[in-house]
Amino acid sequence: MHHYRIGHAVGGIEPISWRHLAAAGKIDHQAVGHIAFGDADELRAHAVAYINSDTNGRGYLDIEGSHTLEKFTNEVSRDIIDPETKLSAWKRNQLHEIAEAKSADRRQEIRQRGDLRIGALGSGSDFTAFLQHDGVASLNIGFGGEDGGGIYHSIYDDFYWYTHFSDTDFTYGRALAQAGGSMVMRLADADLLPFEFGDFSDTVQTYVKELKALSQKMRDDITERNREIEEGVFTATNDPKTPLVPPAGEPVPGHLNFAPLDDALDALTRSAAEYHKVFEHASGGTTLASASLTEVNQLLIESERKLLTQEGLPNRPWFKHQIYAPGFYTGYSVKTIPAVREAIELKQWKQADAAIVVVAKVLQDEAALISSAATKLAAAK
């Protein structure tokens, strides 16, 4: 892990303050080291964000990560030119998402929402320790989608393949460097860190809607299966030459109590709107004192940390983030609000209710931090 100091200015001008840039190597041979580094007190105290890139190819700019940085990534991608089409990477992504959308509602959202949604991070690369264990806001970026792939971790994953079948002239390598470099420099040069909570609040609301729908589907499936057992459906359709054991009936669970999460989402939405209003005013040319901004920036840094719990997730306490985690049974793939989602999937209804309370407390604490940041920013002079 290498450290560099990046200031508020370039070209030899002495910066107002320093921010540290940490650079790390490739995934496989350093992943263990990054997990160890994730236990460093310096990282927990001072890290603003972690920007990761694991693979790169030709096509569309894929961005996943912390949704407090979603608006920031949209702003950067609007300024990166796609080498093939000469559109901005943002515009090409928008048109690609419209083409791939499966419903009219989804196409309408893509056209009307100010920011393109970014995916959530599970695991599978070096961001794991930074995000999942230490609560450092993280991003994973890379171009792809137009080269065939299929060579990852194989003997064909080499320079010859890349220069003959992927980004053959390295133009997308340059575009990735522009994207990652722009993110680093903007984070380093920002008087006020570019965290934003409206997109985060909106995203968490979609996760809670998914949980409610999943819970209802599980109840409906159990009810339907019990009815089919009583009707003799499985007995009547069972082939006696290849007999199968019919499923056993299950008790239909009661409704989960999502009220704590609903209340927390209301608080999060209000605080996000409050911060956005103050941020817009502060961005309107007002000169703010460096000392005042230091307090606000420290709260912004802490905003991702607030999404952790000391106890971590059930059965895997190292994973402390309550909004994003790799699934217990899904390898690298992400599970959002994992403690609640996985309890529902496993029909552990009491655990699901308990997890709802834990996540709601995390979101209430997050809302309080955002409100505090808004108050301090409004008072900054």
Q: Which residues pair with 100 in a beta bridge?
A: none
For residue 129, the 8-state DSSP code is I
- What DSSP character marks residue 88? B
Mean of the pLDDT values across residues 191-207?
A: 97
Centre a 10 Å sphere on the Cβ of residue 276 and count the other Cβ atoms it contains. Answer: 17
3-state secondary structure 164-195: HHCCCCCHHHHHHHHHHHHHHHHHHHCCCCCC
CA distances from 169 to 27, 58, 238, 245 (A): 24, 10, 60, 59
Residue 30: its pLDDT value, please? 41
Q: Does 32 score more than 50 pLDDT?
A: no
CATH number, domain 2-189: 3.40.630.10
Predicted pLDDT of residue 3: 42
Q: Which tens digit of pLDDT belongs to each residue from 245-302?
A: 989 999 999 999 999 999 999 999 999 999 999 999 887 666 676 767 999 999 999 9
- For the stretch 127-171, pLDDT in tens is 999 999 999 999 999 999 998 777 888 998 889 999 999 999 999
Q: How far, in Å, are 156, 221, 368 from residue 340 at the CA level?
A: 41, 19, 22
Query: Is 5 buried (19+), middle (13-18) or exposed (0-12) by CB count in 10 A?
Result: exposed
Helix (H, G, I), strand (E, B) or coil at 144: strand
Quote the pLDDT of residue 147. 85
- Reported as a single tens digit per residue, the pLDDT across 282-292 is 876 666 767 67
Decide if 246 contacts 229 (C-beta within 8 A): yes
- The pTM assigned to this predicted structure is 0.90
Which CATH architecture is the domain 198-379 placed in? Up-down Bundle (1.20)
Q: Which two tokens stand for residue 233?
A: 């459906």
Domain parsing of the chain, residue ranges: 2-189, 198-379
The Cα 184–Cα 5 span in angstroms is 11
